[in-house]
Structure 1
């Protein structure tokens, strides 16, 4: 695959870090949407592997407040994922010149992908892949987010994240952690977007996911009009593309074909 390298896109006056990998221009671009603590660099070599396996072009980007993108003001609004899906992602696709896309989202990024595909802005989406998605708040998720807060304060987690987020490290962590642990966030729910997702969906979930259960898979499978293909992976936590990369790449490749 032809490496197109790192770049910055101006999206509504905000500079967003991006990385593009070339592929067959006749195929839709795979747009990667990272998790709540993710960034371009935290995808590691997954974008390269995805491009090699599928032959599709790939675009990864760091949302505002993450990686080397512009920072954001905190606290984040509690509907930040809905805003990312309905408002920011369409502008990003415009700035990148993309009119045919497949969304590949992980965790928070999976939620953003579902919001976008289930909104009036999602007309360019041909398929959706979601890994460890959230559609509503589960107690197991809040327990793990509280544990992440303790780790950030009392372990080397901040130092490890700083390698990827630099000056955005505190912005990335607290923007995510404080939002999910806000008292009103327990009511956060995007299941209302699912009946309008009119494209094929693949849901990938680890059976040992510490942030969510099979209930997330069932919610999607039961609500999207065409149902959803599912892949439940044993010995797999919240990051299927890192815990079981071979199975994830094979499933995505087959789904796209």
Structure 2
């Protein structure tokens, strides 16, 4: 079996995807797969990958989608179903390339939408998912926030900041911004996919999220099959709980991972030193 390095690229044939990996190898432990936001990348998760590897005993894999980070560029404009494409066509190939046998998805914003869609496909290797500030349908507050982000980008400050992380800054920004602000996207929804979930999910939402309201939680409760959804609302937290409420978010994710892996018979999670969690 191939051994994942701390950073590298997956060659999927039609593009190379940058990855960052920490913790136990997929052959030795379940893998937590991080799916980034609309302007994120594999290298923009801060201390989260290392902290989750330490607290769960799992491996943690973060991948930059095509058009982000150091991954191959993407043709623009993105198609209306680009999130669905990532979930159905790209993510299974990433799991293959990394030789993931058992995994949990952890997605933020666009990445959370991708995670929900992927879990709805019934991929046997995926035990569950944590959805941080997900989008299940388009809200006006989301579009308003994205317009404000576009204004900040055009003033140059955001462009400079994103340049630290993305080889093609313009492609990364326009691929996300233009897709969401396309008039044809207003009717977009993935609520039907939630009805097909067969594994547990935890939804983490900040009460002060400028990109989404509690309507996303209502949609999840309405659509997810009984018993699979847990909602954790974090007061006075915005769109980035894993940055704004780091300790709380890590604790929620770690508890979910421990419960899911035990419930599904994957064995007790272990610390990196090999000892069972809790010792």
Structure 1 and Structure 2 fold alike (TM over 0.5): yes
Greater fraction of residues in helix: 1
Q: Distance in 2 between matches of 1:190 and 1:243?
A: 27
**Per-residue deviation, 1:105:** 0.2
**Kept in 1: contact 2:7–2:18 (CA 8 A):** yes
**Per-residue deviation, 1:52:** 1.1
**Per-residue deviation, 1:12:** 3.4
Q: Distance in 1 between matches of 2:71 and 2:28?
A: 29
SS of 1:99's equivalent in the other structure is coil
**Kept in 2: contact 1:136–1:188 (CA 8 A):** yes
Contiguous gaps of at least 5 residues in structure 2? 259-279
**Per-residue deviation, 1:227:** 3.6
SS of 1:130's equivalent in the other structure is strand
Instruction: Provide the alpha-carbon RMSD of the alignment.
Output: 1.3
Q: Distance in 1 between matches of 2:14 and 2:97?
A: 11
Q: Distance in 1 between matches of 2:170 and 2:218?
A: 34
State TM-score, norm by structure 1: 0.95
| Range with bigger deviation, 5-14 or 75-84 | 5-14
**Kept in 2: contact 1:20–1:57 (CA 8 A):** yes
**Kept in 1: contact 2:210–2:238 (CA 8 A):** yes
Q: Distance in 2 between matches of 1:209 and 1:101?
A: 28
SS of 2:216's equivalent in the other structure is helix
Is 1:66 paired with 2:68? Answer: yes
| Equivalent residue runs for 1:24-39 within 5 Å | 25-39=27-41
1:117 match: 119
Cα pair distance change 1:222/1:27, threshold 3 Å: farther
1:23 match: 24
Is 1:51 paired with 2:31? Answer: no
**Kept in 2: contact 1:79–1:188 (CA 8 A):** no
1:208 match: 208
Q: Distance in 2 between matches of 1:249 and 1:27?
A: 19
| Equivalent residue runs for 1:161-180 within 5 Å | 161-166=162-167, 168-180=168-180
Q: Distance in 1 between matches of 2:55 and 2:5?
A: 17
**Kept in 1: contact 2:80–2:185 (CA 8 A):** yes
Structure 1 ranges of 4+ moved more than 6 A? none
State TM-score, norm by structure 2: 0.88
Aligned residues: 253
2:94 match: 92
| Range with bigger deviation, 19-28 or 228-237 | 19-28
**Kept in 1: contact 2:8–2:19 (CA 8 A):** yes
Q: Distance in 1 between matches of 2:59 and 2:221?
A: 27
**Kept in 2: contact 1:12–1:91 (CA 8 A):** no
